[in-house]
Amino acid sequence: MIDPRVRVAFVHAGGLSPEQTAAVEWAESAGFDVTHVSVAAIVEGTQSLSTFDVIWWHADEKPSLAAEKDLGGVLRAYVRNGGSLVLSLAAMTTVDDLGIDPVGPDAVGPEPESQSTGPLVKAIYDDHPLFSPLADRRPLTRGPTDATLARYDSILPQRGEILASTVRADHDVPGLVTCVAWSLRNGNVLGVGDGLVFEADEGTTEQRDRFARAIFTNIGVASVPKRPESGDEVAAMRDHFDDDHHRPKFHLSTPANWLNDPNGLIQWEGQYHVFYQYNPGGPYHDTIHWGHAVSDDLLHWDDEPVALTPSPDGPDRDGCWSGCAIDDDGTATILYTGGRDRRQLPCLATTDDPDLRTWQKDPENPIIEDLPSHPDVLSTEHWEGEFRDHCVWQEAGTWYQLIGAGMEDGSGVALLYESEDLREWEYSGPILSGDQGTAQNTVWECPELLDLGPKQLLHVSNYEDVIYFLGEFDEDRFDPEYRNKLDHGDYYAPQSMETDDGRQLTWGWLPEARDVSAQWDAGWSGTLSLPRELSLASDGRLCQRPARELTERRGSNEHHDGTELDAGATIEPTTTGRALELSAQLSLFDADAIELRVLDDPDGSETTPIRYTSDNEVIVDRSQSSTDPRATSDSLQMTVTPYDEPLDLRVFVDGSLVEIFANERHCLTSRVYPTSTDATRVRVTAVGGEARVSELDIWERK
């Protein structure tokens, strides 16, 4: 008869530690066929590996491979020929020495005082055979231990796909990665740097046993997830979220994992390219790469391969942070902030790829090596100098660059540099500084200067809001005449592109308004605003309109006009949904307010009123928007300029997004998370008096 048991080669460098002995005893008691194999026997070739289904290296102390230079070649050959390798606890530190990944774990050491801990399984993989036997995606699989653990903390592996992070007894730790998979031709490597401890207390053994059995039973027969590389592989991640009613349908969103700032916006050879800050490790902010999406029409977006990845030996090892794209005499060029250790400095990359998929980093990076001598740039526990994010343009043959920073006196600042070739930069000084009325240690992130003709617009993001200034920029100073917020809600770090027809189109990051665990369970975090056209009105103030192309995705229309509403009277349209566009003209006669309710549940348990008040305020009331305690209930509001009524509103409802344009002047974007699948109604109600709805149009969005 054929022995059905999984044949496991248990690797060790000499005598077994108590932890290794406990691991072998567990494997044998679980029914696996275990053979002891020494590292020396593998290197010398006296032990054939071809008869084993799985090689398991379980080490509670960091192995030294200085004298075992050929070990990596033998193990890689075994895996490429269809074998499976499991590296648990400190053995995961060998991935660099073994030639599996050039970036090894950076958080290595024991945690004797830690709480009960286990793998925090990514939502996109919780039905994979490696994890499906677990009780949930937060199993506690070990108690306190003296064993050396191996996790990725401030960096990520360059080649491996992240499968799980860390859960403690009372909270999630998404940034502490414990479980990584690598695909090597026909075989698999699985690193489990924490969670498999066999000298454990009784409180965690059941889930640990399930986890370990799932690994050894399935590692040889189920392909481990491979890090997506092609555009099709990136796009395929979206399929996992088809049933998530909080996912946007017509806003540009991350295929999975994490998205923040839009970057490198450019129209190139007729196509619109949007890059964005992306973390492939999961739905949390860490070790930033550049995601990439492309469109022919601003309506339909295709996922592209990840465009920028941190270089293990480069100044961007810890992240490729925000930057911009420019046309340097026919060469597409990006400037971005590279982070390594506590330094963040400007870096440059170019491409001759017409699809902007592959980029070559400049060998001289960083192109600015030192912080400016004045003003004193703010130093924090995270960075030697809070100095990042780039806006670059050219005038009369000279390149200009704005970099955002904070100053030691607590205020934000936008710093100006000049260059003839994009590589040698001369510091000119601040063009504007000081953020009156804000907290200390303010940093002006993502500065951008746009020419709107008679006036220039400078906007900065100060951790809380996106502040814009209208005024005049003259050589090296910006003289502000007017100040306001670009958006009064969940909106941050916008960036613009100038289109071939001369428009300024701006996208902003719309961060989540639910807690860390809710984002992890969703499997994705962050989306971008609709593209907005920025221009000046006849009175010299800023106009913000949805890009004109967006009307082309309107579906069926429901129209109401000339409706007078007494106090408490309601318009109840028949059009419902979570992907809608609304246009309304509203007048307050003697009413205290008029409410346009969206994502409204018929039983009244969840609703999101957009309230226009007699105090010239537009308020998004989130107090009843969701029964999920992990979603915020804080309301958002903005004051609208008291033009003659009616108030013109354009509202886009998309999954968990409510994006509002008022009088084409003001914007307020909100994230809401109704749990009910019936929270799809629209209603308009007068409050405390008579109001008028001059026009109301509702379109289903295609």
Q: Are 101 and 22 part of one and the same domain?
A: yes
pLDDT category at 668 given cuts 50, 70, 90 is very high
Contact residues for 386 (Cβ-Cβ < 8 A; gap 6+): 377, 378, 379, 380, 405, 406, 443
pLDDT over 90 (residue 202) = no
Cβ–Cβ under 8 Å, residues 292 and 300: no
Q: Using DSSP, state whether 205 is helix, strand or coil.
A: helix
In a 13 Å sphere around the CA of 170, the CA atoms on its Cβ side amount to 2
Q: Give the integer Cα–Cα distance in Å for 604 and 55.
A: 58
What is residue 67's predicted lDDT score, i.e. its pLDDT?
65
Mean pLDDT of 630-641: 92
Mean pLDDT of 630-652: 89
* Phi, psi angle pair for 512, to nearest 5°: -70, 155
Q: Would the pTM count as exceeding 0.85? A: yes
pLDDT category at 435 given cuts 50, 70, 90 is low
% of the chain at pLDDT higher than 90? 90
Is 385 a member of any domain? yes
3-state DSSP percent of the chain in helix, strand and coil, to 5: 10, 45, 45
pLDDT over 70 (residue 95) = yes
Residue whose structure tokens are 């903005």:
638
What is residue 1's predicted lDDT score, i.e. its pLDDT?
31
pLDDT over 70 (residue 440) = no
DSSP 83-141: -EEEEEEGGGGGGTTTTS-SS--SEEEEETTPPSEEEEE-GGGTTSTTTTTSSSS----
pLDDT over 90 (residue 51) = yes
- Which residues pair with residue 334 across a beta bridge? 325, 349
The vertex-105 CA angle with 202 and 206, nearest 5°, equals: 15
Q: Give the integer Cα–Cα distance in Å for 124 and 236.
A: 11
Contact residues for 318 (Cβ-Cβ < 8 A; gap 6+): 154, 155, 287, 310, 339, 340, 341
Q: Give the integer Cα–Cα distance in Å for 196 and 182.
A: 19
What is residue 220's predicted lDDT score, i.e. its pLDDT?
84
In a 13 Å sphere around the CA of 177, the CA atoms on its Cβ side amount to 30
What is residue 373's predicted lDDT score, i.e. its pLDDT?
87
Residue whose structure tokens are 């814009």:
468
Q: Are 190 and 282 part of one and the same domain?
A: no
Q: Using DSSP, state whether 70 is helix, strand or coil.
A: coil
Residue with the bigger pLDDT between 445 and 44: it is 445
Is 483 a member of any domain? yes
Q: For the chain, how many structural domains are there in total?
A: 3
Is 252 a member of any domain? no
Long-range contacts for 355-358 (Cβ within 8 Å, ≥24 apart)?
A: 355/294, 355/304, 356/266, 356/268, 356/273, 356/292, 356/294, 356/304, 356/307, 356/332, 357/292, 357/304, 357/305, 357/307, 358/307
Residue whose structure tokens are 């309304």:
584
pLDDT over 70 (residue 439) = no
Is 285 a member of any domain? yes
What is residue 480's predicted lDDT score, i.e. its pLDDT?
96
Q: Are 52 and 111 part of one and the same domain?
A: yes
pLDDT over 60 (residue 436) = no
Q: Quick one: tokens of 197?
A: 């401890």
What is the extent of the structural domain holding 559? 553-701
Question: For helices 18-29 and 205-218, what crossing angle results, to 10°?
Answer: 70
Domain of residue 290, CATH code: 2.115.10.20
- Which residues pair with residue 532 across a beta bridge? 506, 546
Dump pLDDT digits (tens) for 534-588: 999 999 999 999 999 999 999 999 999 999 999 999 999 999 999 999 999 999 9
Q: Quick one: tokens of 120?
A: 């925090």
Which of 511, 545, 568 is the last residue in one of the domains? 511
In a 13 Å sphere around the CA of 604, the CA atoms on its Cβ side amount to 0
Amino acid occupying residue 691? A
Q: Are 240 and 199 part of one and the same domain?
A: no
Q: Are 185 and 309 part of one and the same domain?
A: no
Q: Are 211 and 274 part of one and the same domain?
A: no
Is 267 a member of any domain? yes
Cα 571 to chain center, whole Å?
39
Mean pLDDT of 137-151: 94
Dump pLDDT digits (tens) for 61-81: 999 886 677 899 999 999 999
Q: Are 433 and 559 part of one and the same domain?
A: no
Residue with the bigger pLDDT between 145 and 258: it is 258
Question: Mean pLDDT for the chain?
Answer: 94
- With CA atoms as reference, report the closest residue to 423 among 331, 320, 349, 373: 349
Contact residues for 392 (Cβ-Cβ < 8 A; gap 6+): 324, 326, 335, 399, 400, 401, 402, 422
What is residue 112's predicted lDDT score, i.e. its pLDDT?
79
Q: Give the integer Cα–Cα distance in Å for 694 and 391.
A: 43
Domain of residue 119, CATH code: 3.40.50.880
Q: Give the integer Cα–Cα distance in Å for 11 and 58.
A: 7
Q: Give the integer Cα–Cα distance in Å for 372 and 427.
A: 7
Dump pLDDT digits (tens) for 477-511: 999 999 999 999 999 999 999 999 999 999 999 99
Number of H helices, E strands in the chain: 6, 45
Q: Are 242 and 181 part of one and the same domain?
A: no
Q: Quick one: tokens of 500?
A: 């071939």
What is residue 2's predicted lDDT score, i.e. its pLDDT?
38
What is residue 13's predicted lDDT score, i.e. its pLDDT?
87
pLDDT over 60 (residue 438) = no
- Please compute Rg for the chain using Cα positions: 28
Residue whose structure tokens are 């990136």:
234
Is 332 a member of any domain? yes
Is 521 a member of any domain? no
- With CA atoms as reference, report the closest residue to 601 among 523, 659, 672, 652: 672
Domain of residue 574, CATH code: 2.60.120.560
Q: Are 485 and 577 part of one and the same domain?
A: no
- Which residues pair with residue 416 across a beta bridge? 402, 429
Q: Are 310 and 412 part of one and the same domain?
A: yes
Please give the helix or strand (H or E) that residue 681 lies within, else none. Answer: strand 681-687
From residue 314, alpha-carbon distances to 161, 386, 626 in Å are: 21, 19, 45
Q: Using DSSP, state whether 284 is helix, strand or coil.
A: coil
Q: Are 493 and 567 part of one and the same domain?
A: no
Longest CA–CA span in the chain (Å) reads: 93
Q: Are 212 and 88 part of one and the same domain?
A: yes
Q: Which of 311-325, 342-356, 434-448, 620-634 bottoms out in mean pLDDT, i.e. has the lowest?
A: 434-448
* Phi, psi angle pair for 184, to nearest 5°: -120, 95
DSSP 483-552: EEEEESSS-EEEEEEE-TTS-EEEEEEE---B-HHHHHHHTEE-EEPPPEEEEE-TTS-EEEEE-GGGGG
What is residue 4's predicted lDDT score, i.e. its pLDDT?
60
- With CA atoms as reference, report the closest residue to 625 among 653, 604, 640: 604
Please give the helix or strand (H or E) that residue 598 lies within, else none. Answer: strand 593-600
Mean pLDDT of 198-221: 89
Cα dihedral angle (241, 245, 246, 250), rounded to 10 degrees? 80
Q: Using DSSP, state whether 579 is helix, strand or coil.
A: strand
Is 75 a member of any domain? yes
What is residue 437's predicted lDDT score, i.e. its pLDDT?
45
